[in-house]
Structure 1
Amino acid sequence: MQYITERGAYSDAKIMAGYLKRMGISVALYPGNSKLPFLLKKGKPDMVINLVDSFKGNEFLASAVLGVLEMLEIPYTGAGLLGQSLNYNKFLIKKIFIQNGIPVPNYQLFNTSREPINSTLRFPLITKLNEIHGSVEITDDSVVESEGDLRKRLKYLIGTYQQSVLVEEYIVGTEVTAVLLEGFKKKVYLGEIVINDESDGKYKFKKFEYVI
């Protein structure tokens, strides 16, 4: 499934390239694969806008792209090598948030579908793959209201993707995304994610969309 979101990066890159060209900026598209180091050495770009979030379906390998950019001393956008590496583990990120005084919903990491449920968790709960992003498997079935439904969802996710699942209390509210721009002065921009959910589901949130 992660190959689907990986494939979408190329169309995103073409759209962004169009905007940059209209601004008078020279643009070249580089694939995030094993040929990248040689292409970068040959092209010698002034800066790389990094849109790679997985390589061969593996999100952890995306950090290798940043390693190449660091070694070639090419400036790039997005999180740094450490930040991006940490970002591929939702459970670890929550631990870091808590250590820095940032509140998060009550949560639990499940490695099997039979583990006891933490008594502090309150339904409804939302289930998320711990190491895959891009809203993969975020559907109407992601929010569960009973232990039976939770066990069923865990069995499906763990059995299908062979990885742990993060379960957290579902919170109804406004979804906001934050963008940090670093330059002479750091600037943070906040934007609301408008949910145009026309499904019959009880809970409205941003779901995975696969368009062929």
Structure 2
Amino acid sequence: MSLPLPPLRTHDPAAFGRVALLLGGTSSERAVSLDSGRNVLEALRARGIDAQPVDGIAALREGLLQQRFDRVFNILHGGEGENGVLQGLLQAFGIPYTGSGVLGSALTMDKIRTKQVWIAAGLPTPRFVRLAPGADLRAAALKLGLPVFVKPSCEGSSVGVARAQAEADIAAAEAVARAYGGEMLMEEMVVGDELTVGILGDLALPSIRIVPKGGWYDYAAKYVAEDTQYLCPGLDGAEEDAIRALALAAFRAAGAGGWGRVDVMRARADGRLLLLEVNTAPGMTSHSLVPKAARQVGVGFEELCWRILEQTLAPSAGGTP
């Protein structure tokens, strides 16, 4: 598949100065972040970039106070790496960084409010219910209509997600809600194809259709299993054009920028495309999807990391509010 990739802005690794590769942290996605970070660090250094790993925001803050870094490549998944806290800190220090700014990060970390913005913008998303802490999950499920997914509003990587396909499954979903304690999203379960679209600057990469052997793309299927199939592009012709246009519109409507990933369901019954969520710091592991899509258009992992970091050189690219 051929897409109009812009030319590289620079071929000089010195143009980036000293780069902090932010990884790890304390969120539930720490292990994935460490894996992603190792891969990105190796890619940046292979291209001659002066990149240093920094584990967590507290360590980064100390490095910034000591003026050790000129820019930040953020691969801190979840928590304060994606909810606007890190982005606000870096803007206060005047340090350019990869990915979305404060607004896009904070909004897309909250699945419920992202969906509310999409609805206001006329973009399609599955029906849902907001569950406040202690809400009657059983009553909500029966009102929305089974089957449903129940998941924390502000977690990623399929952490803490439960399915309730019948009334007998609701107790397990209630246990998940009690374990997290915070606001939960209950969403209708769309029967169909799960797809994702990587975003790189102003370009929507080819879609990927995910076919897990177990029928559900959970944490294990994402990061552990070797039998999950990834079909890229995931759709053909006009449908592929439509999902890429929808993903880019959803990304922009949510205030996101730089790079990221938009997850979409295609309903089997009528072919409708329905938006699920945005990830503003996607995984960069051996199983991750943005690198797979980039390879489809001839961009290898090292070049992908370079192109993401290049966005910090452009005033209108990633790292803007």
Letter in 1 for 2:148: L
Q: Which residue of 1 aligns with 2:156?
A: 133
Q: Report if the CA contact (8 A) 1:127-1:143 is conserved.
A: yes
Q: Report if the CA contact (8 A) 1:107-1:169 is conserved.
A: yes
Q: 1:173 deviation in Å?
A: 2.6
Q: Which residue of 2 aligns with 1:16?
A: 40
Q: 1:179 deviation in Å?
A: 2.8
Partner Cα distance (2:93, 2:27) in 1: 27
Query: Greater shift after overlay, 11-20 or 34-43?
Result: 34-43
Partner Cα distance (2:97, 2:66) in 1: 17
1:47 is the counterpart of 2:71: yes
Normalization by structure 2: what TM-score? 0.54
Q: 1:107 deviation in Å?
A: 1.0
Helix, strand or coil at the partner of 2:90: helix
Q: Which residue of 2 aligns with 1:195?
A: 211
Query: 1:1-212 counterparts in 2 under 5 A?
Result: 3-54=27-78, 58-59=79-80, 62-111=83-132, 112=134, 114=136, 116-117=139-140, 121-138=144-161, 142-150=162-170, 152-182=171-201, 186-197=202-213, 199=214, 204-209=215-220
Deviations 1:123-174 (A, max 9, x none): 2211112122221023xxx222223422x13420221111122111111233
Partner Cα distance (2:195, 2:30) in 1: 24
Q: 1:189 deviation in Å?
A: 1.5
Partner Cα distance (2:107, 2:37) in 1: 24
Partner Cα distance (2:131, 2:91) in 1: 35
Q: What RMSD, in angstroms, separates the aligned Cα atoms of the two structures?
A: 2.6
Partner Cα distance (2:48, 2:37) in 1: 17
Q: Which has the higher contact order (CA 8 A, sep 6+)?
A: 2
Q: What are structure 1's unaligned runs of at least 5 residues?
A: none
**Structure in which a larger fraction of residues adopt strand:** 2
Partner Cα distance (1:60, 1:38) in 2: 16
1:29–1:45 distance in 2 versus 1, CA, 3 Å: same
Q: Which residue of 1 aligns with 2:14?
A: none
Q: Report if the CA contact (8 A) 2:27-2:77 is conserved.
A: no
Q: Report if the CA contact (8 A) 1:66-1:81 is conserved.
A: yes
Deviations 1:70-100 (A, max 9, x none): 1122221112111111122211111111001
Q: Which residue of 1 aligns with 2:5?
A: none
Matched residue count: 195
Partner Cα distance (1:60, 1:51) in 2: 8
Q: 1:42 deviation in Å?
A: 3.3
Partner Cα distance (2:77, 2:164) in 1: 28
Q: What are structure 2's unaligned runs of at least 5 residues?
A: 1-25, 225-321
